[in-house]
Amino acid sequence: MTDPLVRFDRVAKSYDRATLVIPDLSFEVGRGEFLTLLGPSGSGKTTTLMMLAGFEAPDRGRILLEGRDIVGVPAHRRNIGVVFQSYALFPHLTVAQNVAFPLSVRGRPRAEIAERVARALAMVRLEGLGDRRPSQLSGGQQQRVALARALVFEPKLVLMDEPLGALDKQLRAELQAEIRRLHRELGVTIVYVTHDQEEALALSDRIAVFNEGRIRQIGPPQALYDHPRDPFVAGFIGENNRLEGEVVGRDEDGQLAVRLGGGAVVRAEPVDVAPATRRVLLSVRPERIALAHAEAEDLGADALAATVVETVFLGDHVRVRVRLADGGLVTVKRPAYALDARLKPGARVALAWSAEHAIAFAADGTEAARSPLAGHV
């Protein structure tokens, strides 16, 4: 990234002068990029956004916008658009007046304000609603007004803090599509905060996964999904099965042979697994697992014997939970149309996956205990 719009340089933040909620944060945001800060509650993502917006001040470090350190610059002078989950609309003003507010405080001429407001409302598909009050609009429409207000003064940077969190699933999907369209058409840089992994995957050019005030991994959505660097990222981005095992071999391509608790040996791709490591944690996506009735086709020498515990129909796919010989539970996702009707509770089945779809991390009790991966089966 040769010319980033935003750069955090060794930023730290504490609220009580004793505990650093952000210990040492450095990252960049490219011009025109859609970067999502993703993580659990208390991970530091909203604090990071608030420092960029100017609503919180770092204790040390620099925050650069177009190469200029903006630490100490008041929020209203940073020329950054902000969209909140609560909409933060003025209830006594009309929709048009709410959208016009950033232009009014900047002293723009009346004719220019009217033109820009009309253009902004058309951009978010709210033409003809300018005379209404926010209370006369649906939640989705109110969030569109908030988007129009953040974009009307044509900022180079827009910050969004859980903007869709108060909406139902269908409205969230509709607004996600609108945000993607606006980003594509306007080319504005967006930094977006959410704890919703599906939302992050759907919207982002890159995702920064936060935990305990640090970025655990940053990269394109597919890279984080397919190639997580540690168990935390593997567990937080998408769903995973966790299988513990012992390394019993390593081939010339670097793949590991791992013996699971029931004695079966499977192969896996190591991630930062030292040659001397014996215990590993395997991460396998449910959709990457082949599943067959024990009397059906042979899945190969590495297939694991299991018994179906339950099947859950979820419309387009079915979740099949199975129990391995050692008692461990594994979840498999299969398209609903392709599920073998014989796979009912109690049925004997075989599981298999390609070695490149099983990621091996060095087993670390502390890390595994903190990781949400530990709760996924």
Residue 2 has pLDDT above 90, yes or no: no
Neighbours of 260 (CB within 10 A): 18
| Residue 208 and residue 292 share a domain | no
Nearest-angstrom CA–CA distance, 255 and 259: 13
Residue 308, domain extent: 240-375
Residue 169 has pLDDT above 90, yes or no: no
| Residue 308 and residue 289 share a domain | yes
Residue 363 has pLDDT above 80, yes or no: yes
| Residue 363 and residue 296 share a domain | yes
| Residue 165 and residue 192 share a domain | yes
Give the model's confidence band at 370: pLDDT under 50 very low, under 70 low, under 90 confident, else very high. Answer: very low
CB under 8 Å to 234, separation ≥6 — which residues? 228, 240, 283, 359, 361, 371, 373
Residue 344 has pLDDT above 50, yes or no: yes
The residue with greater pLDDT, 368 or 92, is 92
Residue 232 has pLDDT above 60, yes or no: yes
Q: What torsion do the CA atoms of 277, 278, 281, 285 make, to the nearest 10 degrees? A: 90
Q: What is the pLDDT of residue 3?
A: 81
Q: What is the pLDDT of residue 233?
A: 95
Nearest-angstrom CA–CA distance, 295 and 150: 60
Q: What is the CATH number of the domain that holds 351?
A: 2.40.50.100
Q: Which of 187, 209, 231 is the last residue of a domain?
A: 231
| Residue 191 and residue 307 share a domain | no
| Residue 291 and residue 155 share a domain | no
Q: Which of 231, 249, 277 is the last residue of a domain?
A: 231
| Residue 273 and residue 340 share a domain | yes
Residue 252 has pLDDT above 90, yes or no: no
| Residue 250 and residue 227 share a domain | no
| Residue 198 and residue 58 share a domain | yes
Strand 80-84, strand 157-161: pairing: parallel
Residue 296 has pLDDT above 70, yes or no: no
How much is the average pLDDT of 73-82? 94
Query: Can you spell out the DSSP letters for 48-61?
Result: HHHHHHTSS--SEE
Residue 372 has pLDDT above 60, yes or no: no
| Residue 94 and residue 205 share a domain | yes
Residue 141 · residue 149 · CB < 8 Å: no
| Residue 302 and residue 225 share a domain | no
Does this model's pTM top 0.75? My answer is: yes
Domain count for the chain:
2
Q: Which of 201, 231, 261 is the last residue of a domain?
A: 231
| Residue 62 and residue 188 share a domain | yes
Q: DSSP 3-state assignment of 123?
A: helix
Model pLDDT for residues 181-198, shown as the tens digit of each residue: 999 999 999 999 999 999
- The CA–CA distances, whole Å, from 127 to 121, 141, 293 equal 6, 11, 56
Q: What is the CATH number of the domain that holds 11?
A: 3.40.50.300
